[in-house]
Amino acid sequence: RGIDDLTMWDDAKAMLRKAEAEGIETVWDRLENQTPHCKFCESGLTCQKCVMGPCRIIPTNEKKARGVCGADADLTVARNFGRFVAAGAASHSDHGRDLVETLAAIGAGETTDYVIKDGDKLRRIAGELGIDVDGKEDKAVAAELADLFVRDYGFGANKKLAFLSRLPKQRLELWDKLGIAPRGVDWEVVEMMHRTHMGVDCDAVSICLHAARTSLSDGWGGSMIATEISDIVFGTPSPGKAEVNLGVLKQDHVNILVHGHSPIVSEMLLASARDPRFIQAAKSAGAEGINVAGLCCTGNELLMRQGVPLAGNHLMTELTIVTGAVDMMVVDYQCIMPSLVTIAQCYHTKFVSTSNKAHFTGAEHVEFTYRNAREKADQVVRMAIEAFTERDQSRVQIPEGPMSMMTGFSNEAILGALGGTPDPLIEAIKAGKVRGAVGIVGCNNPKLKQDYVHVNLAKELIKRDVLVLCTGCATSALGKAGLLMPEAAAEAGAGLRSVCESLGIPPVLHVGSCVDNARIIQLCAMLANALGVDISDLPVAASAPEWYSEKAAAIGMYAVASGIYTHLGLPPNITGSDTVTQLALGGLNDVVGAHFVVESDPVKAAELIDLRIQSKRVALGL
């Protein structure tokens, strides 16, 4: 493929040309080198879970239709998919655990670096979950809330996650009937590992149902806990302006990029970078100041709460370093390509890892904990200033012109814009001004032209009066396309346009990072409760147009299991099993009231989503 087929953006194309000229290998080169992929793996028909194997299943060959243990194609695919979802759920939830640990440390007075920023939200959430907050100090409430979440990670109170109280009762009854109401965050992940060991759960459908339960322990557990505590500790986002693309890097500043997912490190780093002592130190080193910009989900966290500019999404991470202007990349965990260390070594860029669970060979490791975070952040900012003095300005090429965007649409902010209740939104939906809502979320995948499906799907949907919410790497795509600005209302259908213009909001609302997809399912539950219906009755859908990761599979699975029709731009590795594929692409509708659809063409995908939205509107009598 030529450069024009790899990405739709000028900033990415310019850096791809620079990478080529400088002999730097990128993710696209490695994809080409790895193509064609193994057909067995691609269809989920390999099994490496024991040493009687590894096995490759050929359903059409009588002698090879079963692995050594006797597992057929359906069971092999289901086991692989179950573990795939479990890994995704584990990732979000382990991130959430770090926030629980931080909240507990605040409650116990074990940290002074982290504090409660949004005490109102702390009390509101604690009260919602049955904690008596009257007459108690924030610290005491924080300790009790953290304790409740610790129980949710293990056994759950009454073997049910606390946030299941947010669900419409029909949904919870359905999950109870199916036996998929999540009990404990860690419990469901561990049980999936157990079930998929040889000789435990040997029924494909049963494993798929547990995949649903596992994913629900992420959406209504680990991710939701991560989001709510992040708001409590770092502040609940409210609407504001920011900028996106590689043009956010500054030639005359110390450029620090934060990459990964957890706000625990990046928020502290930002505090140090904004400290006048270090700004002065940067000036003494010949810079105009310190510029912090974000990548991927940690970028989304800082963008939502602090208006920190976003340099790009997953496929931009390598290309940011190719600008030659990045003095330091600081990472925590998830979605950090190990190739970044190698590329950083081709420049003066310092690559710093910070988490004891995410080491990178060749990186400088500065470990952050809740006890030492500010001290370590200060140390890292000093290192970045030092790195700036080694920058070769003749190798710097920063693409021009960042795009402006609006961000910060937490559910609290959305409700605030609506006057405190979801009623105006429900009225707009009833009147057909807003025909429905779709969450466009997830990654980039180098198999698809970068951001093309994200952008064109969103444009098609808003044209059809469908409000779009976005998170994660979709944010950068839609922001670069200008769709996160109120002016983009001009590209929407007449109904959505009038709603956006009267509220002064864009037709695509940025609601956060990937764990913040919990905000979207919570909003769906709120709408369903207000209407007295189940989530599966709502004219809503989800889409991960360019997904790549296990986490995205967990998100898609919990969306479907919550009753939300979900589009994927690429299929998961399940096509080797008719049973699992048919369940995913239709059968689940009879079980949980929603299913997956796979379509790489954005216009066709929009048509499919539109059909679902229309059918739900008709069923609701709208």
CB of 263 to ligand BF8, least distance (A): 12
CB of 299 to ligand BF8, least distance (A): 8
> Does the footprint of ligand BF8 cover residue 335 (CB under 6 A)?
yes
CB of 448 to ligand BF8, least distance (A): 13
> Does the footprint of ligand BF8 cover residue 472 (CB under 6 A)?
yes
**What is the residue type of 216?**
L
C-alpha torsion sign, points 38, 39, 43, 47: negative
CB of 19 to ligand BF8, least distance (A): 20
Number of helical H runs and strand E runs in the chain = 27, 16
**What is the residue type of 507?**
P
Q: Which stretch binds ligand BF8 (CB under 6 A): 24-32, 202-210, 483-491, 545-553?
A: 545-553
CB of 261 to ligand BF8, least distance (A): 6
C-alpha torsion sign, points 50, 52, 58, 60: negative
How far apart are the C-alpha atoms of 30 and 532, rounded to whole Å?
A: 51
> Does the footprint of ligand BF8 cover residue 222 (CB under 6 A)?
no
CB of 334 to ligand BF8, least distance (A): 6
Instruction: Provide the β-strand partners of residue 471.
Output: 512
Q: Which stretch binds ligand BF8 (CB under 6 A): 60-68, 236-244, 368-376, 546-554?
A: 546-554
Comparison of 518 and 552: residue with beta carbon closer to ligand BF8:
552
Q: Which stretch binds ligand BF8 (CB under 6 A): 226-234, 319-327, 401-409, 544-552?
A: 544-552
**What is the residue type of 195?**
R
364, HSE (Cβ side, Cα atoms, 13 Å): 16
Those residues with Cβ within 8 angstroms of residue 89's Cβ, 6 or more apart along the chain or in another chain = 188, 189, 214, 215, 217, 218, 222, 554
How far apart are the C-alpha atoms of 72 and 222, rounded to whole Å?
A: 33
> Burial level of 388, CB count in 10 A (0-12/13-18/19+)?
buried
For residue 565, what is the enclosing H or E element? strand 565-568
CB of 294 to ligand BF8, least distance (A): 11
Residue 507 phi/psi, 5-degree rounding, is -75, -10
> Does the footprint of ligand BF8 cover residue 263 (CB under 6 A)?
no
How far apart are the C-alpha atoms of 476 and 582, rounded to whole Å?
A: 33
Task: List the one residue from 314, 374, 433, 510 that touches ligand BF8 (CB under 6 A).
Answer: 314
CB of 194 to ligand BF8, least distance (A): 26
> Burial level of 268, CB count in 10 A (0-12/13-18/19+)?
buried
> Does the footprint of ligand BF8 cover residue 478 (CB under 6 A)?
no
Task: List the one residue from 24, 103, 443, 458 that touches ligand BF8 (CB under 6 A).
Answer: 443
> Does the footprint of ligand BF8 cover residue 514 (CB under 6 A)?
yes
Closest CA to 434 of 527, 512, 510, 517: 527
- Site size toward ligand BF8 (CB under 6 A) is 14
Task: List the one residue from 99, 249, 473, 592 that touches ligand BF8 (CB under 6 A).
Answer: 473
Comparison of 121 and 261: residue with beta carbon closer to ligand BF8:
261
* Strand pairing report for 364-365 and 328-331: unpaired
3-state secondary structure of 188: helix
> Does the footprint of ligand BF8 cover residue 542 (CB under 6 A)?
no
Comparison of 210 and 261: residue with beta carbon closer to ligand BF8:
261
As given in the structure block, the two tokens for residue 14 are 């310019």
- CA 176 vs. chain centroid, Å, equals 27
Binding characters for ligand BF8, 280-299, by CB under 6 A (x = yes)? ----------------xx--
Task: List the one residue from 184, 442, 506, 602 that touches ligand BF8 (CB under 6 A).
Answer: 442
> Does the footprint of ligand BF8 cover residue 492 (CB under 6 A)?
no
CB of 358 to ligand BF8, least distance (A): 13
Comparison of 143 and 473: residue with beta carbon closer to ligand BF8:
473
> Does the footprint of ligand BF8 cover residue 552 (CB under 6 A)?
yes
Comparison of 104 and 440: residue with beta carbon closer to ligand BF8:
440
3-state secondary structure of 117: coil
How far apart are the C-alpha atoms of 454 and 330, rounded to whole Å?
A: 27
Task: List the one residue from 210, 213, 350, 551 that touches ligand BF8 (CB under 6 A).
Answer: 551
3-state secondary structure of 442: coil
As given in the structure block, the two tokens for residue 506 are 């864009």
**What is the residue type of 601?**
D
Comparison of 174 and 296: residue with beta carbon closer to ligand BF8:
296
Q: Which stretch binds ligand BF8 (CB under 6 A): 26-34, 67-75, 154-162, 548-556?
A: 548-556
CB of 549 to ligand BF8, least distance (A): 4
Comparison of 442 and 556: residue with beta carbon closer to ligand BF8:
442
> Does the footprint of ligand BF8 cover residue 303 (CB under 6 A)?
no
Q: Which stretch binds ligand BF8 (CB under 6 A): 59-67, 323-331, 416-424, 547-555?
A: 547-555
Which residue carries 């990415």 as its tokens?
A: 12
77, HSE (Cβ side, Cα atoms, 13 Å): 27
- CA 563 vs. chain centroid, Å, equals 19
85-144 positions binding ligand BF8, by CB under 6 A: none
Comparison of 338 and 432: residue with beta carbon closer to ligand BF8:
338
Percent helix, strand, coil in the chain, to 5, is: 55, 10, 35
Comparison of 297 and 340: residue with beta carbon closer to ligand BF8:
297
How far apart are the C-alpha atoms of 57 and 43, rounded to whole Å?
A: 10
CB of 120 to ligand BF8, least distance (A): 28
- Cβ atoms of 45 and 576 within 8 Å: the answer is yes
> Does the footprint of ligand BF8 cover residue 549 (CB under 6 A)?
yes
**What is the residue type of 411?**
N
Binding site for ligand BF8 (CB under 6 A): 261, 296-297, 313-314, 335, 442-443, 472-473, 514, 549, 551-552
